[in-house]
Amino acid sequence: MQETTNIPGYTYGTDQVSRSPVTLADFELMKKSVLFGDADVRYLRLSQDVLKDQVEAILDVWYGFVGSNPHLLASFTSISDGKPLDDYLGAVRKRFGLWILDTAQAEYDQKWLDYQHEIGLRHHRTKKNRTDGADSTDLVPFRNLFALVFPVTFTLRPFLAKKGQSAEEVEKMYAAWVKSCLLQVTLWSHPYVKDGDF
C-alpha cells in the first residue's frame, strides 16, 4: 500500500472502508485453491521494482484495450448520451495505477482484504459511480470482470520482462500476477453473488 496519496477516492486502510464479509481464514483457503504461496508473494514484490516506473505505460495499454471495445467502455459512459466520461475515466485511472502497486506490494492483510470488498462494491450497483459522482451506468457487468483477468495479465507480461530479470523470474512474476488477479476478482464478485452462495 502507498504510504500517502492525494488521489481522490483512494480509501485503502481508512475508516471509510467497511470490513470484508470474507474472513482472512476464508482468504487463506482461496489462496490454497489457486496455489498461491509465499513464493508468489516474493515474486509479486520483485515485480514492484520492475513495474513502478512503468505504471503509466501499462495503463495506456489497458485503457487502449478498454477504449477499443465499446462493450467494456460502456461502463464509463454517460447514461444520458452514451459518450465516454473523461473525468470519470481519469479518476479511475489514478486509482488503477495504485492498484498495480498495491497488488505488487502483496500486503494481503485485513486492510487489503477490506479494500478488495470496497472495489467490488464500486463495480456493483451498490456503490458504482458514488466515489466520483459519475452519471454513468449503474453496473460493471459481472461477465466482464473475470474475462478481463486474461488481457490484464497477458499484456502485463512484456512489462515484467523489461528490466533484465531472467526468463524464469519473469515467468514466476507473471504466474504470481495471474493468481493474485484471480483472487482479487473473486473477492470483487462478492456483491454480485446471492447471499449465502459465495
Give the pLDDT confidence of 8-36 residue by residue, as tens digits: 999 999 999 999 999 999 999 999 999 99
Residues 83-135 pLDDT 10s? 999 999 999 999 999 999 999 999 999 999 999 999 999 999 999 999 999 99
Q: What is the pTM of this model?
A: 0.95
Mean of per-residue pLDDT scores for the chain: 96
Cβ atoms of residues 152 and 66 within 8 Å = no
**Cβ distance 106 to 53 under 8 Å?**
no
CATH numeric code, 24-192: 1.10.490.10
Q: How far is Cα of residue 29 from the mean position of the Cα atoms in its chain?
A: 20
- Nearest residue to 53 (alpha-carbon basis) of 164, 153, 162: 162
Helix, strand, or coil here: 136? strand
Kindly state the cell numbers that stand for 175: 504466474
Q: Which of 13, 22, 58, 59 is nearest to 189 (CA)?
A: 22
pLDDT of 197 strictly over 60: yes
Query: Per-residue confidence at 6, pLDDT binned at 50, 70, 90?
Result: confident
Q: Bridge-partner residues for 78, per DSSP?
A: 136
Give the per-residue pLDDT at 123: 98
Q: How far apart are the first and last CA of the chain?
A: 26
Tell me the CB-side half-sphere exposure of residue 194, using CA atoms within 13 A. Answer: 1
